[in-house]
Structure 1
Amino acid sequence: MTHLLRRTVLVGLAGALLLALGLTVLERPAKAAAPYTAYLMAHFTGESANGEQIYFATSTDGLHWTDLNSSLPVLTSSIGELGVRDPAIVRAPSGDRFYLIATDLRIAAGKGWDVAQHDGSTSLVVWESPDLVTWSAPRLVNVAGTIPDAGCAWAPEAIYDPASGDYVVYWATISPRNGVDKARIYYSRTRDFRTFTAAQLYIDRPGTQGIIDTQILEIPGSVGGYRYIRASGDGQITIEGSNQILTGWTRLGDISHLGYTGAQVEGPILHQYNGRDEWGLWVDQYAAGRGYLPLTTTNLAAPSGYRVRAASEYALGAGRKRHGSIIGITQAQLTALQAKWGGPASAGTRRLQSVNFPDRYLRHSNFDVRIDPNVSPLADSQWRIVPGLADPAGVSLESSNFPGWYLRHYDYDFVLAKYDGTATFRGDATFRRVAGLADSSAASFQSYNFPDRYIRHSNYLLRLDPISTATGRADATFRITS
């Protein structure tokens, strides 16, 4: 028997002996994971035509955010109610699998809030991904179907439970119980986000007080004396601590001393800032329609120390950000996300140079659009040429320095306007790029919804006109430069 063979046999026998004695065979430690250096936020934007879908934004400091995919959805639901809200991204403990769960709801369809609460979907929508870039098709899981007279399943979240080796998935359901019809938090367990245990009651506030959303964050090192911190929308934004996921919760306070209660804010996000003992609590200012507001602290267990960040200290990007979630990501993951859906608006920008006035470039000025020489600031004349909002075979022109704002015609005039999610906007902001009408080596832009008209300048102002003359063809021709 060779030395190598004898060593292999001995190792195998030793492992078998350890297993027989009920001991664990220790594996070689895995290669250290790359540190988190950036952040990913998943969110929805509101009740517009496309607002109730999944949007992504990234950040390198956790306070200043850049929309991906030109402020358009990255995932859309084709099942259930054809809309999703309140997305939560869940990372598997192995780090090689992600789940995205969301409320199956589309208020924009016109069903109304009362129907949505009391006769809505009892399912969640689930996607999964190995890398945050490639996502499965969405699927429905009916988590609340066994709850008597359940009216909905809203604001799902999930946390891995190392004690049981599975995930605790929790959400809000409105249903009658003990003579009181209100929102309560229920939970179920799953290992694969396909098969779930029967729903069980998790959080029930006293009396008629409902609880519409909650999020739990595990605290490394139990900073503040608790392994888990929970933030809940229950009339306040209540902060609680526990050393177990399902039991032992202690009320620590709320954020009413900062001027915010459940009447103003909802959808709390808890997350840790990368590489330091600092945490964020983001709250959705739904009552004012302003989207998220960040609070920060070095001790989540002490709400009196939370600080509201000033408006000058953070930026949310172009799209409004509502009830979602934030996770830390690696530099490689940030690079992959930006490669898939576009990075900062300054990346890949182009200028459109007039063919017959080559010292002039297409630019916006006070949200009007024209051609000018010596453009200052230069970013006013820089555009991202992105897939058409109405037809990906076409193009749309997104402002470099106003991400989420697009070149759009209105009564055949042109303006720079913020994308509002409507079909009319998408049509007005979409063009077919064709060979230049005056120079085939350049480009002209044919209107998507008025195909007999083209973008052209007239007296240096941009218009959408039919083109029938040599002057018109020259006015409608542009060189795309860097």
Structure 2
Amino acid sequence: MSVVFSRLAAILVAACLLFTSQALTTPEQAAAADPGYLMVHFTGEGSTNQQLYLSHSTDGVHWNDLNGGGMVLRSTVGTRGVRDPALVRAPGGDKYWIIATDLCIGCGQNWDTAQNNGSRNLVVWESTDLVTWSQPWLLNVAGAIPDGRNAWAPEAIWNPATNDYVLYWATNATLNGVLKHRIYYARTTDFRTITTPQLYIDRPGTQGIIDTQIIDVPSGVGDYRYVRASGDGQITLEGSNSILGTWTTLGDLSGIGLTGSQVEGPMWMKFNGRNQWGLYLDQYASGGGYMPVLTTDPSNPAAYQKQASGSYNMGGTKKRHGWVLNLTAAEESRVLARWPNTTAGRLQSYNFQDRYVRHTNFDVRIDPNVSPAEDAQFRLRTGLAGSGTVSFESVNFPGYFLRHSGFDFQLAYGDGTAQFAADASFRQVAGLADATWSSFQSYNYPDRYLRHYGFQLRLDPITTATGRGDATFHVTS
């Protein structure tokens, strides 16, 4: 009997090994009821691409762009561009932060300036629901570092040992006579104030390090509670049982043909329901954006496997250095409702058909030949005041809506209040001058309509034929 049991055990072990190998090559499709994953990222160079974008996946390897592939948050502070965003969820799930590099290459700043006299700040947003975000603020993290010349690629992780966050980033600074990028850290509870920055990761000699991200590994997987992946000439893996303790070098990914000369921006994700992880790497050298490398043990370099190009799909936009959040069902529902894949449109005037509604310096009017064209593009979305209404969200200033105040119109940032929702919501009705067009009746002043007067947008009662023409629009692409 013992021989029979031994053979059965051997067969079971072999089957498990085969299953594991197949799972690494082809990730399991998540069950339909399982919540999925949210990626925050930027898409490339230029003032538009160096903003915040969101993508969603149900299985962790096939991604769909949210918001029609358009940006979801825009920085209006510092350099007015952001890269390398990280999305941090509070342990209680009641607060979220996005932290990002304050950097806009090609927007008045080149790489040399960015490295040697760049922003010492990070850009931070805060939310209590993952969909309504504060205005961004700047957090100075490198100003207290001697000869600190910039602050790049921020990340953060909750540290149960100190009951706060370890915020870490790269700064180019001179230390012991060597100028290079090193990783520094500080502690924070609110991403508004931090402790004095300390050196966190330094490589020997002149070797710099810019990108690093830590993942918390469950008990029973590998030998370490935490594993970090860093871009330092290689994609180096290290393990530790304490975030601020001693880290052990585990190896790198050169064995599967991936080095720091090819890829950067390591981004971890944990697959739901099983011990499998994805390490996404940004193919910056070839301009290819993110690619996944899968493993069942983050601490074992030999366990990583590259994926065939047809086994994953990154969606319509390029995905660059970001963060993946495993969503709860409630979070997923809110996110997908907030950023559906709606297309952008324009509001064409009925009686001045060469003119379109546009914003300029946050004022709103109708103009011909709008430049940049995005100033006249809006997403017509379910109204902030609820079903049966619509709201107009700016394409190039996401989170900003057409809103009346004192019966004048402005492009204003949604503050999440009931008053703002009412002021920015309208009922789309048959056009007052032509029923095949549309008019927009105020939600909280139903005797008034959106109209232009002297080419400026106003909210007025409509009593004349001229007023009916002024208050009639066509929603067009």
TM-score normalized with structure 1 length: 0.66
2:240 to 239, 242, 255: 242
Give the secondary-structure state (helix, strand or coil) at the position aligned to 2:332. helix
After superposition, the Cα gap between the structure-2 partners of 1:440 and 1:154, relative to the gap in structure 1 and judged at 3 Å, is same
Q: Is the 8 A contact 2:174 2:180 kept in 1?
A: yes
Asked whether 1:310 is paired with 2:308, we answer: yes
Give the secondary-structure state (helix, strand or coil) at the position aligned to 2:85. strand
Deviation at 1:95, TM superposition (A): 1.2
Give the secondary-structure state (helix, strand or coil) at the position aligned to 1:223. coil
Q: Is the 8 A contact 1:222 1:228 kept in 2?
A: no
Tell me the equivalent position of 1:116. Answer: 114
After superposition, the Cα gap between the structure-2 partners of 1:195 and 1:78, relative to the gap in structure 1 and judged at 3 Å, is same
Asked whether 1:170 is paired with 2:147, we answer: no
Deviation at 1:192, TM superposition (A): 1.1
Q: Is the 8 A contact 2:344 2:377 kept in 1?
A: no
- What do the CA deviations read for 1:389-421 (whole angstroms, capped 9, x no partner)? 44245889xxxxxxxxxxxxxxxxxxxxxxxx9
- What do the CA deviations read for 1:432-468 (whole angstroms, capped 9, x no partner)? x9999xx95379xxxxxxxxxxxxxxxxxxxxxxxxx
1:131 to 124, 129, 132: 129
- Give unpaired runs (5+ residues) of structure 2: 1-32, 346-372, 382-395, 397-427, 439-473
1:68 to 61, 66, 69: 66
Asked whether 1:37 is paired with 2:22, we answer: no
2:212 to 205, 211, 214: 214
Matches of 2:43 and 2:308 in 1, distance apart? 22
- What do the CA deviations read for 1:137-173 (whole angstroms, capped 9, x no partner)? 1010101101111110000000000011000000000
Matches of 2:96 and 2:324 in 1, distance apart? 13
Map 1:187-266; keep pairs closer than 5 Å. Answer: 187-266=185-264
Tell me which amino acid in the other structure corresponds to 1:165. N
Q: Is the 8 A contact 1:87 1:325 kept in 2?
A: yes
Tell me which amino acid in the other structure corresponds to 2:258. Y
Deviation at 1:299, TM superposition (A): 0.6
Deviation at 1:111, TM superposition (A): 1.4
Tell me which amino acid in the other structure corresponds to 2:376. D
Matches of 1:122 and 1:36 in 2, distance apart? 40
Map 1:44-83; keep pairs closer than 5 Å. Answer: 44-83=42-81
Tell me which amino acid in the other structure corresponds to 1:314. Y
- Give unpaired runs (5+ residues) of structure 1: 1-34, 351-387, 397-420, 422-432, 444-477
Give the secondary-structure state (helix, strand or coil) at the position aligned to 1:164. coil
Tell me the equivalent position of 1:378. Answer: none
Tell me the equivalent position of 2:363. Answer: none
Matches of 1:233 and 1:223 in 2, distance apart? 23
Deviation at 1:332, TM superposition (A): 2.2
Matches of 1:256 and 1:283 in 2, distance apart? 13
- Output the aligned Cα RMSD: 3.0
Tell me which amino acid in the other structure corresponds to 1:391. A
After superposition, the Cα gap between the structure-2 partners of 1:240 and 1:36, relative to the gap in structure 1 and judged at 3 Å, is farther
Deviation at 1:338, TM superposition (A): 1.5
Give the secondary-structure state (helix, strand or coil) at the position aligned to 1:40. strand
Matches of 2:147 and 2:334 in 1, distance apart? 44
Q: Which structure has the larger Rg over C-alpha atoms?
A: 1
Q: Percent identity?
A: 55
Q: Is the 8 A contact 2:344 2:378 kept in 1?
A: no
Matches of 1:434 and 1:212 in 2, distance apart? 54
Matches of 1:269 and 1:60 in 2, distance apart? 17
Map 1:312-391; keep pairs closer than 5 Å. Answer: 312-343=310-341, 389-391=374-376
Q: Is the 8 A contact 1:231 1:239 kept in 2?
A: yes
After superposition, the Cα gap between the structure-2 partners of 1:36 and 1:91, relative to the gap in structure 1 and judged at 3 Å, is farther
Give the secondary-structure state (helix, strand or coil) at the position aligned to 1:316. coil
Matches of 1:108 and 1:93 in 2, distance apart? 37
Tell me the equivalent position of 1:144. Answer: 142
Q: Which moved more, 1:204-213 or 1:334-343?
A: 334-343
- What do the CA deviations read for 1:27-52 (whole angstroms, capped 9, x no partner)? xxxxxxxx972100000011123011
After superposition, the Cα gap between the structure-2 partners of 1:394 and 1:104, relative to the gap in structure 1 and judged at 3 Å, is closer
Matches of 2:67 and 2:61 in 1, distance apart? 19
Matches of 2:429 and 2:318 in 1, distance apart? 34
The total of aligned residue pairs comes to 340
Matches of 1:259 and 1:310 in 2, distance apart? 14
Matches of 1:479 and 1:163 in 2, distance apart? 55
Tell me which amino acid in the other structure corresponds to 1:40. L
Q: Is the 8 A contact 1:36 1:328 kept in 2?
A: no
Give the secondary-structure state (helix, strand or coil) at the position aligned to 2:222. helix
TM-score normalized with structure 2 length: 0.67
Deviation at 1:110, TM superposition (A): 3.3
- What do the CA deviations read for 1:260-281 (whole angstroms, capped 9, x no partner)? 1100100000121111100010
**Runs of 4+ residues deviating >4 angstroms:** 393-396, 433-436
2:436 to 430, 433, 441: 441
